[in-house]
Structure 1
Amino acid sequence: MRYTYFLALLSLVLLLTACGSSTIEDFSYTDHRGEPVSLEDLKGTPWLATFMFTNCETVCPPMTFNLSGIQEELEAEGIEDYKIVAFSVDPTVDTPETMQDYLAKYSVPDESKWHLLTGYTQPEIAEFAKDNFSSFVKNDPESDQVIHGTAFYLVDQEGTVAHNYDGFEDVPVEEIKEDLRGLIEGK
């Protein structure tokens, strides 16, 4: 029964993730430094977005590792005008301090570009993910885990989702770099 439930939720996650682009609604949350971050703060700079949580036992550690690797590639090519934004799907557990400790476990080339966000309820972030990223967030009723999509989203300078990519396996790093470069250069 649990396996069937998981497969049904995974199918829904994949279906929602495949949907088109949208403009992100205004938000103001707290990052892992305890500082407010809003959509307005991010405007003018493209950003990579994802959903994660710090006590994740499955996809979040590799996804965070993948984002760190993407940042290494961007830094190596001199691409600097971007941010990385991760929305916690478990905001009750994920305090700024918890998220700061989580990020410190990774070899992040430039932590100043990262914003791990919290400061909302779990139902609020589930609605935000669905409405803005066509992504799925749902508590697993049989554990302390949260089921969520594994996509990375490239958001343009105006706050519109321009592209989405697999963030877990077969991450298209070259495509992400080219798409980000294109946004920065105005192509």
Structure 2
Amino acid sequence: MTRTQKTVFILAAVIAVILGLTINKVLSSKGQGDPTALIDAGIILLPQSRNLPDVKMTDQDGQPVAMDGLKDKWSLLFFGYTFCPDICPTTLAQLRQIKSELPPEAVDKLQIVLVSVDPNRDTPKQLKQYLGYFDPQFKGLTAASVEDLQKLANAVSIPFIPADTSKPNYTVDHSGNLAVIGPDGKQRGFIRAPLNNQKLVAQLPEMLKRK
């Protein structure tokens, strides 16, 4: 990856976060709970929900999944991959810990989804085995092509840079931010990285009360 690509990648992520912060402040008087506390916890809600693209995905059990299949629960989408050396295992371990500290009624409304940015290596079997190390209830999604994955990632403003798969032990540059998908199957916002466990345990239940 060139220096220019890295710069573009970082700027895209920063712009998304700044945009979220700005619009959240504008809407602060309309939200439920304390919007300042949500922002402080890294939860950035959008003023208007976004539709997800119609891309075909496959889950960790090898079953086809449409993106509108994420309805009925709040979903936290993390774009990563199972061969990731640092960000992914750290984030998934944090999400496991956060989930374990949430009240049962909040856990029932929430699902954690790893969207693989490495379809070359992340087969459904690999995803299922990897996620089982953290929480068997975590879901995994992959796609047949990098193009479909980029379409989804770009739609939720969490871009990644495809790897050069010809290189041995390649890595994939990706963000640690999470996309927040509401029970209506639309994107509601973001959670900024790095995750703050204590603040998210306190504020996620407030977010999950929203319609």
Aligned to 2:172: 146
Aligned to 1:58: 86
Aligned to 2:150: 126
Q: Which moved more, 1:47-56 or 1:153-162?
A: 153-162
What's the secondary structure of 1:118's corresponding residue? Answer: strand
Deviation at 1:178, TM superposition (A): 5.3
From 119, 133, 136, give the equivalent of 2:159.
136
Q: Distance in 2 between matches of 1:146 and 1:9?
A: 15
CA-based RMSD of the aligned residues comes to: 2.6
Cα distance 1:87–1:17, how it changes in 2: closer, same or farther (>3 A)?
Answer: farther
Cα distance 1:23–1:178, how it changes in 2: closer, same or farther (>3 A)?
Answer: farther
Cα distance 1:140–1:73, how it changes in 2: closer, same or farther (>3 A)?
Answer: same
From 88, 103, 108, give the equivalent of 2:131.
103
Unaligned runs of 5+ in 2: 21-45
Aligned to 1:90: 118
Deviation at 1:5, TM superposition (A): 5.3
Q: Distance in 2 between matches of 1:157 and 1:94?
A: 27
Cα distance 1:91–1:16, how it changes in 2: closer, same or farther (>3 A)?
Answer: farther
- TM-score, length-scaled by structure 2: 0.71
Q: Percent identity?
A: 23
Q: Which moved more, 1:58-67 or 1:173-182?
A: 173-182
Aligned to 1:166: 192
Q: Distance in 1 between matches of 2:53 and 2:180?
A: 15
Aligned to 2:24: none
Deviation at 1:7, TM superposition (A): 4.7
Q: 2:55·2:152 contact (CA, 8 Å) conserved in 1?
A: no
Cα distance 1:23–1:183, how it changes in 2: closer, same or farther (>3 A)?
Answer: farther
Cα distance 1:43–1:179, how it changes in 2: closer, same or farther (>3 A)?
Answer: farther
Cα distance 1:154–1:102, how it changes in 2: closer, same or farther (>3 A)?
Answer: same
From 67, 76, 94, give the equivalent of 1:39.
67
Unaligned runs of 5+ in 1: none
Deviation at 1:123, TM superposition (A): 2.2
Letter of the aligned partner of 1:71 in structure 2? K
Q: Tell me, yes or no, if structure 1 residue 23 matches structure 2 residue 51.
A: yes
